[in-house]
Structure 1
């Protein structure tokens, strides 16, 4: 090997920052340069509107897919400040659109996880061939444009405005994403999920691309997790069945809140969906383990109290209790602890204990208050255990 090949000097180190780094390695920031990456561009922008709505400034959020690969995300919030903010030298709007993590609320139960790494809208700015931000604030309409991550000019006043809000329209850079297109169904699944998990959140997804005419769907579910359980059981257009058990509780012991909804049906499969700060946790974790602890404790106590289990009988196992169970377990924590960088499994011993006690208490109360339904459910579980 030649001396030139093995020489390593400071001049060989290339330092990339901001939009340059994102454009150099886009997959590191949005997961891929295909359809998945395109969806992430949408989520990075929509996440800001969602967090603002959940922080006490509720209002509808409209996500529109336009012909030619464009996307527009608009809300009726107070409007992003245009003047300088915090420690930034530039305008607050420009900081939001160019600085990693700007505007994110980490370590907060309102930090809804729609971003892969909490980078925020700057990722979308960098990976768009063109992005236009429009702010209506204090009677003035402000506009700023970006081309491939770089501001064309500072925000400029573009006339008077009524109301307030922020709209960000962008077109993904085809040099990076090629001919990939956003999927209405994939975006709808995630926005629907967020609306189920955050009662009062109002999101509309509009697709203007079909030649046959626009397609739209609104996601707003005042029933929260109970509506989610009904949806998982393929009951999206009927009232929530009365035997869907649901509750919410604030718990200082885990510095957060828990919302649970569950229902047993005649199927054998178990469908338990768990979330932490509105992010799916496909590998479960302490919140899901606590849920199972609480359900097992309540069901076994009821079965013994009603002599559906004899003293010599073993407790009903979690697997048996889970047959036919559909449930949603959602915790929102001020300081969530995850196992691994992908945040697919929740940690925190206090979470397991708090969720378990909350589920045991509320499910026990429901069982006692609905003896006919409770006995039917528990007898079915006991029969299954005996037959197994």
Structure 2
């Protein structure tokens, strides 16, 4: 039998077992294959790092504990995200004895947020903070909780200091500051415009949440605070009032009985644009659509055709208006929040939950039918617009 360490001799296949297979674990896997977690090592992945930290703060708002988020691009190119939520838990947890803060920043447990207990959450399925930590040359977490200020520092995901208790305080919330690792990313220069656009979307999607962004590279502050939520979003996307087919915009929302899914919709037809549908799941833009978009399109097309026939603008023998015709000139935002979202791909570009299709269809059929029945003149204007563009 030959020695397995001798490259000049054939290897005995009986010696090839599981011990010879290399398995990347924990942060080693994240740092070697960052694209699997954040999409890329270019600008898109860099900005995804920011969104993951912001998502934790948004989840605090969704849980009813935060109404303000402050995002800063620091002078050295780092990012600091602070919220006024409850603050990450600081108590030690069995059996490891690690604080809950350290577990959130170092454990890769996919599928949920096991330590903070959010009913609805976005981000990388519970590993967002730990991935950001792994891909940062340094990260500092500051927590105001339990009557004190607490801090801990990390380097490339590894704790540099223990969680340290400081002075007493009546404040509450979490601040995370990180510097993306230049050895990982093609660029560490975040775009103010890109971040501002995404934060504005989050403010639209979460009425009552104020999000500020400041660039200290030079100072350039902006604040997004939209009490009208999706109505404000649609108005932002349709900036030409004279072109509107109807006003105000149509808006409605609903949540199922067991509170596992909710949907918000705002929509308005205009003669200015070919139309735009933006969809979101747990505040994350679903660029490739998914089941919530299918449900919206299906129900919308059905309701418009039914209304057109009730108003005798179409005869029973006329062919149905197509989905493309109905969407001509329509600006719409559809936002769903789910307790257990199923996304295709780690960066969440398509929603896969079949119940989202069913529930969105149900909500749109009910609320849009009621709106058209109670606003017959505006419903007529919409249908005439669609018929004119379809010819």
Query: What TM-score, normalized by structure 1, do the two folds share?
Result: 0.87
In the alignment, structure 1 residue 374 sits paired with structure 2 residue 384: no
Q: Figure out how many residues of one structure are paired with residues of the other and give that number.
A: 377
In the alignment, structure 1 residue 3 sits paired with structure 2 residue 13: no
* CA-to-aligned-CA distance 1:174-216 (integer Å, 9 cap, x gap): 2323553111122222222222222222221111112xxx112
Equivalent in the alignment of 1:110: 120
Cα offset for 1:262? 0.8
Equivalent in the alignment of 1:77: 85
Map of 1:1-388 to 2, 5 A cutoff?
2-3=8-9, 12-85=20-93, 87-101=95-109, 104-105=112-113, 110-112=120-122, 114-115=123-124, 118-177=126-185, 179-210=187-218, 214-234=219-239, 242-252=247-257, 255-267=260-272, 269-339=274-344, 343-385=348-390, 387=391
For structure 1, the 5+ residue unaligned runs are none
3-state SS of paired residue (1:79): coil
Q: Distance between the aligned counterparts of 2:367 and 2:52, measured in 1?
A: 37
Contact 2:39–2:347 (Cα < 8 Å) also in 1: no
Cα offset for 1:10? 5.9
For structure 2, the 5+ residue unaligned runs are 1-6
Structure 1 window deviating more from structure 2 (16-25 vs 242-251): it is 16-25
* CA-to-aligned-CA distance 1:227-275 (integer Å, 9 cap, x gap): 1111111379xxxx83310000112499411111111101351211122
Cα offset for 1:55? 0.9
Pair 281,86 (structure 1): closer, same or farther in 2 beyond 3 Å: farther
Contact 2:57–2:83 (Cα < 8 Å) also in 1: yes
3-state SS of paired residue (1:121): helix
Q: Distance between the aligned counterparts of 1:264 and 1:14, measured in 2?
A: 56
Cα offset for 1:61? 0.9
Cα offset for 1:124? 1.9
Structure 1 window deviating more from structure 2 (181-190 vs 17-26): it is 17-26
Q: Distance between the aligned counterparts of 2:160 and 2:389, measured in 1?
A: 67
Contact 1:95–1:102 (Cα < 8 Å) also in 2: no
Q: Distance between the aligned counterparts of 2:277 and 2:337, measured in 1?
A: 17
Q: Distance between the aligned counterparts of 1:60 and 1:333, measured in 2?
A: 22
Structure 1 window deviating more from structure 2 (349-358 vs 323-332): it is 349-358
Cα offset for 1:336? 3.0
3-state SS of paired residue (1:3): coil
3-state SS of paired residue (1:163): coil
Q: Distance between the aligned counterparts of 2:350 and 2:186, measured in 1?
A: 33
3-state SS of paired residue (1:28): helix
Cα offset for 1:104? 4.9
Pair 342,171 (structure 1): closer, same or farther in 2 beyond 3 Å: closer
Structure 1 window deviating more from structure 2 (66-75 vs 87-96): it is 87-96
Q: Distance between the aligned counterparts of 1:100 and 1:167, measured in 2?
A: 21
Pair 343,25 (structure 1): closer, same or farther in 2 beyond 3 Å: closer
Contact 1:285–1:347 (Cα < 8 Å) also in 2: yes
Cα offset for 1:72? 0.9
Cα offset for 1:359? 1.4
* CA-to-aligned-CA distance 1:145-182 (integer Å, 9 cap, x gap): 11222212211123222312211112122232355311
